[in-house]
Amino acid sequence: MKKPNLTAVLAALAVACSLAACEAPAVAGMAPHQEGPVAWAADFREGLLADAAEADTLSAKTRAGHNLSEMTVGWFVHDVLTTLSSVDDGLESHFGGNIMGFLRDRMSAQPEAEVQAVAAMAAGGGQTAPLRRAAEWALESLRHIPDVNDPAEAQARDRAALASALDSLSAVLKETATSHLRN
């Protein structure tokens, strides 16, 4: 009898847990029956736009050939996830209420599975989907930090993938912030 692939089992569990967390999307301060876009507070929108601008800056540096450090990208992602999870109880729950611990433990141990889990949460739709797509791109950026010990071609590929993830993150953050200005 063939043994089950433990990695596949853990990934399936992570996705199942994430989907369970987003069954009833919870957005801080929003009644569950509210329809239409959430009217984010002005300071939250400004925070999203500031994070988008920082993602643009980091992407430009990366496209110019600079290898961003794990510390630079890691702290940026930590700040973005903190902002997003402050209004999305599903993300807060997925991160275990401790973003630093999540990044250090779960994300570093199974980055692809964690990105997929947050992507599955976003695919659930609802008011929190844009926030979860932003979290997905933030986590995806961590998967492509160039290693200076890798060959030049590998570093170039990682820089291109990192810049692309940062560009996608910026676009989602801008769209999320500005789409709610129409209220």
Check pLDDT > 60 for residue 21.
Answer: no
* Least confident piece of the model among 1-10, 69-78, 81-90: 1-10
Banded pLDDT at 7 (limits 50, 70, 90): very low
- Predicted model pTM: 0.78
Per residue in 34-79, pLDDT (tens digit) is 444 456 788 999 999 999 999 999 999 999 999 999 999 999 999 9
Residue 28, both tokens = 């801080």
Contact between 136 and 118 under an 8 Å Cβ cutoff? The reply is yes
Identify the pLDDT of residue 135. Answer: 98
Q: What does the pLDDT look like over 96-128, one tens digit per residue?
A: 999 999 999 999 999 999 999 999 999 999 889
C-alpha distances (whole Å) from 82 to each of 11, 27, 48, 57, 86 are: 23, 14, 11, 20, 6
Residue 179: the pLDDT is 80
Say yes or no to pLDDT of 130 above 90. Answer: yes
Judged on CB neighbours under 10 Å (0-12, 13-18, 19+), 93 is middle
Mean pLDDT of the chain: 83
Whether 8 shows a pLDDT value over 80: the answer reads no
Count the neighbouring beta carbons within 10 Å of the beta carbon of residue 84: 28
Element (H, E) at 108: helix 108-109
